[in-house]
Amino acid sequence: MSRAGVSYFGVRILRHVRRDLEDIAARGFTSVLHTFSENDLVYYRGTMGDIVSASHDVGLEVQMCPWGVGRTFGGEAESRWVTMHPEACQVLDDGRRVATGCFNQPAYRAFCKEWADAAVECGTDYVFWDEPHWTVPEHVGIDDKERWACRCDVCRELAGGEVTQEFREASLVDFLREMTAHVAARGGKNTICVLPLTEGSHGIKDWDGVAALPGLDVFATDPYWKNFDEEPGAFVGRFAKLLSETAVRHGVRPQLWVPSFGLTGEDIPDLEAAIVATRAAGIDDVWTWGYEACGHMTHLATPDAPLVWEAVTRALTRRPELELRPTRDLVRSINVGDATVPDAVARAADQIAAAVDAIVARLEGGGRLVYVGAGTSGRIAASDAAECGPTFSTDLITAVHTEAEAEEDDAELAQLDVGERDVVLGVSASGRTPYTLGALGRARAVGALTIGLACAPGSELARAADLAIEADVGLEFISGSTRMKAGTAQKLVLNTISTVTMVKLGKTFGNLMVDVTPTNEKLRSRARTAVALATAAPDDAVSAAMAEADGNAKVAIVSLLAGVDADTARSRLSAARGVIREAVADVVG
C-alpha cells in the first residue's frame, strides 16, 4: 500500500483540529503524525485521544512521537521531566550535567514507558520513536561541538569504566529494544526514525542492529538535506537506498521523511527531486514535516510556505484526476474547500462594516440599496434582495441583474434609476465583469455611493468603486466555477450586509424578526411569537394586542411595553423612525 503522511502539531482545540484533519484527508494523505509532548501528557492526555479518534474518523492512519521528551527525541518542546530529575540526566565528558535524560538511567526508561503507555491508550496505530539521540551540546546552550555524553555514574558502571562511541550506540539500541518490546507487549506497533547519520557522536553506525529489533514494524529516516548542507538528490538517494536495503533484510517497512519547513519556492525542485530519489529506492511510504509547510510556526516558516505545501502535497499524494476519484473523496474535498470561505469573509470584516455604515447613512437619508451583477453573481444578489422584502417588510433593497451569460460582456446594458442618495453595490467574482463595471461607472457619475464586492484581490471593480469588499477565496475546486466558493462568499457577504443594515434601521428588536410581513400562517405565527418573546406578556394579552395592531408585530410590542393603545404605539414608532427601542425608551431601559 502506498502511503503519504504529514506531521501535525500545535493545535489542541478539537474543532480546529477536525477541520485540518479533513483538509489533510481531502488532499489525499493517508496518514498523520501527532506530536505528543510532556506538556500534552500532563494537560492534554484525553484531548490527544480525541485527536487520534478524529484522525481515524477521516480515514487517517496515526503515528505519535515523543515530541521533545527528555530532550532525547526530535522536537522543540521543552522537558519538565529533566527539571524534576536532574540526577537522571546526562553528564558531559567534562563533568557538566545537562538537561537531557540519560538512556541508561532506569528512572528515565520508566518515564519513557509511561509516555508510551499513554500513546497506546490514545489509540495511535504506531508509536514513532523520533530521532533518538544523545545530547547535542548546542541544544542545551553549550557552544562546543566537541563535547559529548554520557559519563554519568550509571553509564560508566555499565561501560566498565571508559565510555566509548560503541558503548553509546549499543546503549541507544538497547534502550530502543526495551521500548519497542514494551509497546509490542501492549498490542502496539513501533516505528523508529533514525537520524541520517552513520558516523560521528550522534549517529548510529549499525542500522541493521536497529532494524532487527523485535517489535519493530517500520524503519524510517529523515535526510533533511538543508540541515546538512547537502545536495538533495544524492544525499536523499544515498540514505533512501540504505534504508530500503536494511528494511528489506529484516522484513520491516521502510519510511522516509522529507522536509517542507524552511523551504522557499526556489527549493521546490530540490524537494521534488528528493521524493523522486526516495521512490527510485523502492520506498513508497513517504512523509513530510509538516502540515502547511509549518507556515504557522514563525521559526520554521518562509513566505513561500503555501507554495511549498501545495508542491509537496502534489508530489506525495499523486492524486488522480477528479473523475477517477471516489464519490466520498470528492464530497470531502468540496466540503473542505467550502470550510475556508468563512475565513475569507472574516478577513474582509472591516471592509464589510464600513460598507454597512455607509449604506445605513444613505438609507436613513431616503436612499435605496441597489445590487448589480451578472450571471451567478447577479442571481445571488437578486436572491438576497428578494428575501429582504418578506423578512423585513422593506423595498429599500433591490437588484438589477442579467441571467443571460452572453450579456455579461455588455457594459451599457444595466440600466439604473438611481441618484445621489442611493447606494449601488456591484457584485463580480472576478471583479472584471463589463456589465457590472459599466453600471457602477454610471452610478458614480450621478453621485450614488458605489461599492464593489469581488472575490479576487486588487480587482478592477475594487478600484472603480468608492468602497471595496474583497473576499479572496483562492482557487476553485473546478477551475473557473465561481458558483462554488466565490458564490458562497458572495452570499455570506450579502447576507451580512442586508441583515446588519436592517438591524441598524430598526427592523429587529433584539434578535427577533419584528418587521416581518405576515402574509401566511407561518409568518403570522412567527410575528405572534416575536411579540410574546419581546414582551413576556400573557397569551391573551398578546392576542388582543396583535388584533388591535392589525397583525403588526412592532405596533403590538410597543403597545404592550409602553402600556398604550395601538394608535399611540404607531405614533411613537413614527416619531422613532420605526425603531422599537427608541419608541419605548421612556419605559424600558
Which one-letter DSSP state was computed for residue 92?
Answer: B
Q: Where are the beta strands (DSSP E) in 391-495?
A: 397-402, 423-428, 449-454, 467-470
The answer to whether the CB of 210 falls within 8 A of the CB of 219 is yes
- Rg of the Cα trace of the chain? 33
Give yes or no: 408 in active site. Answer: yes
Strand-pairing partners, residue 221, are 194, 256
Distance CA 298, CA 313 (A): 21
What sign does the dihedral 563-569-572-578 (CA atoms) show? positive
What residues pair up with 31 in beta bridges, in sequence order?
5, 61
Q: With residue 373 as reference, give the H or E element that holds it.
A: strand 369-374
Burial of residue 587 (number of CB atoms within 10 Å: 0-12, 13-18, 19+): exposed
Q: How far apart are CA 275 and CA 237, in angstroms?
A: 9
The active-site residue out of 131, 169, 292, 408 is 408
Grid coordinates given for 250: 529484516
Helices and strands: H and E segment counts in the chain: 23, 17
d(CA 5, CA 174): 28
Active site residue 405: no
Per the CB < 8 A criterion, the answer to whether 546 and 569 are in contact is no
Name the active-site residue from 121, 272, 387, 407: 387
Report phi then psi at 323, rounded to 5: -70, -10
Residue 320 sits at φ, ψ, to 5 deg, of: -75, 170
Q: Annotated active-site positions, please?
A: 387, 408
